[in-house]
Chains A and B, each alone.
Chain A
Amino acid sequence: MIFFIAWRNIWRNKTRSVLVAGSIALGLWAGAFVMAFAWGLYQNNIHDVIYRQYSHIQVHHPQFNPDMDPAALLSKSPAWNSMRVQPEVQSLTTRLMVSGMVQSAVAAGGCVLLGIHPSEEAIQTELESLLVQGEYFPLSKMPQVLIGAKLSRKLKVKLHQKVVVSFSDTAGNISAVALRISGIYRSANAALDERMLYTEHQTLAGLLGLDSNSFHEAAILLRQPDKLDAVQAQLASMFPGARVQNWMQLSPETDIVISSFNLYMYIVIGIILLALSFGIVNTMLMAVLERVREIGVLQSIGMNKRRIFFMIMLETLFLSLLGSPAGLFIARFTVYYTGFYGIDLSRFSEGFSQYGFSATVHPVLETSRYYVIGVMSLCTALLASAYPAYRALQLKPVEAVRKI
């Protein structure tokens, strides 16, 4: 019966109740959608980190470091080649890397020269798709190199011109090689564009006096990312003593962003709910003050304080129970819809696609997060309802019935 009265009470002032329930719905919708959108952006970022930069797993010699010792080498085994056919593995490749100097006729700078397998790298890092000028390793007698657009400006070199790269070989001797620029690329990361030069594996292996099995870095892209741990373990036993790292270890900043997402989400939702709770408290206080006389009569005929408290609390709860599922339902729908079709940011900001960033965001939010938001809003409603209900208890029946 008290449920019944409370339920009918909220419909006494329809406009007011609809406004409160609507603002709760709107607030939660906005909160959930912003979360989904942010998570979608992170997913793009993670996608770039994996598919453009690190792959899922990399293997290095334990002594390998960015200012590398060219002798920190590993060697491909037959087991490595057979990994290609494992269903969870999408692609894999190996690279040689040396640090050195790159020079043109007018300028010079530090660089990293990578020896890559062009066809594998095209899948592994989508390197070919970054090309803005020239060709991706065309057949040629002359050793070739891909350089970044930024470096080409700095060195004032054009396509088909030559640069000289000097580096120390595995024995510690300085050697230099002239490479013809066959292509110019541009990636999302300008700092890397200025340093990374790509040549063919066999070219660099020849210069270093290495066989085709030697490598500094191996990268594996997975078809089934949930098998990450298993493949990582497999690689660790394939290359005993080597450093086998997954993308979260290679890019800890990305990992931190993901793990701080929860906190970020609770703060945003918390602020929205706090704002909403002021609206709820205000509305329910108005409802209580309007009904002073009625509550007085109820007390006079024997409705005890517990029941009156409960009645007012229920009214508040009903309001938010109308609002929050509606808001979350609409949010789920919006996220599903925009997640499916994607939101094309290039319409709003040109910078994205130009630099190889994915301009389309697919908002996404795990189902459990909707429940978390739902529970948070329920707790807020309970807290917000306590004060108006408490105020209703403060009413003295005599004073209330004397008010006409």
Chain B
Amino acid sequence: MEQNTTVIDAHELTKIYNGRQVPVKAIDGVHLHLEEGEFAAVVGPSGSGKSTLLHLIGGLDTPTSGNVVLAGTEITRLSEHKLIDFRLHHIGFVFQAYNLVPVLTARENIGFVMQLQGLPRSSINKRVDELLAQVDMIEKADVKPAKLSGGQQQRVAVARALASRPRIVLADEPTANLDSVNAGKLLDLMARLNREEHITFLFSTHDPRVIEKARRVITLVDGRVVSDTRPG
């Protein structure tokens, strides 16, 4: 048996937005623990705090209280500059849409992250080819995002998220703009990468068909975890 290690450890996480009229408790005392290699979905009604939770875990936003430890690093204590660097090396992001740099081709978008990491060109090229094959985008490698379909764009976005060889990929409603066929394909792709590359995935969704594919389902209501199940 492989030795499981903790990659995400969120403790007593709370986020209060000071809205116009009343403060909104978007996340309310959430504890979350993910082991390496998990494939977990965050579900819940609109406004339940899914995006906020992913942003807090990914260090895009700072919690009002509580802390987040990613792969042994307490990111809630990092300076802004260190945090950006941490994201570059340890976290991959996939958003709902507009993930890609419009002026770069699919290939360049994937390679860009590794260039930011300062990897040598030869190893970048090798890895980009590998990833393009994995997400089945070799034919469209030199096409810019505007000329790709929504599903193709999201596949490139997943490839880019993996390019930096992160420990975790956070995906906020990656299938929201896709039809069910493409949504299913994207999930299958993510699931396969999860198995093959052993990368932890945490994604949010409304889509029941996507939820079906998750091996762990965390349900949020009003910023609280109301259930945490492992179907199958």
Contact = CB atoms under 8 A, between A and B. Distances in A.
- B partners with A: yes
Interface of A: 1, 5, 8-9, 11-12, 293-294, 297-305, 307, 397-398, 401-402, 404
B104 interface: yes
Q: Describe A's contact surface by its main secondary structure.
A: helix
A1 B84 contact: no
A352 to B, nearest CB: 56
Interface in B99-127: 99, 101-104, 112-113, 115-117
Interface stretch (B37-45, B85-93, B199-207): B85-93
Interface in B190-224: none
A303 B88 CA distance: 7
A307 B92 CA distance: 19
B138 interface: no
Contact of B103 (A8, A398, A404): A8
Contacts of B101: 5, 294, 297-298
A398 B63 CA distance: 12
A304 B80 CA distance: 9
Residue from the set B51, B95, B104 with the largest chain A CB neighbour count within 10 Å: B95
B164 interface: yes
Nearest to B177: A404
Contacts of B88: 301-304
Contacts of B51: 402
Contacts of A402: 51
19 contacts: A1-B112, A8-B103, A12-B103, A294-B101, A297-B93, A299-B84, A301-B92, A301-B93, A301-B113, A301-B116, A301-B160, A301-B161, A302-B85, A302-B89, A304-B81, A304-B85, A304-B88, A398-B61, A404-B97
Of the listed residues A1, A5, A9, A301, the one surrounded by the most CB atoms of chain B closer than 10 A to its CB is A301
Given A297-B95, A404-B96, A404-B97, A302 B164 contact: yes
Contact of A404 (B91, B98, B104, B117): B98
Contacts of A300: 58, 60, 87, 93, 95
B52 to A, nearest CB: 9
A402 B115 CA distance: 26
B81 A305 contact: yes
B55 interface: yes
Query: 6 smallest A-B Cβ distances: which pairs?
Result: A302-B88, A8-B103, A398-B61, A302-B87, A398-B60, A304-B84
Nearest to B93: A300
A270 B161 CA distance: 48
A402 B96 CA distance: 10
Contacts of A298: 101
Contacts of A5: 101, 103-104, 112
Nearest to A9: B103
Nearest to A403: B98
Given A5-B103, A397-B60, A398-B60, A303 B98 contact: no
B93 A398 contact: no
Contacts of A303: 84, 88, 116
Contacts of A304: 81, 84-85, 88
Nearest to A304: B84
Nearest to B84: A304
A307 to B, nearest CB: 7
A401 B60 contact: yes
Interface centre among B85, B87, B160 (most CB of A within 10 A): B87
Contacts of B97: 404
Nearest to B100: A297
Given A397-B60, A398-B60, A305 B99 contact: no
Contacts of A11: 103
Given A297-B101, A300-B95, A301-B161, 6 more contacts: A300-B87, A301-B93, A301-B116, A302-B116, A305-B80, A404-B96
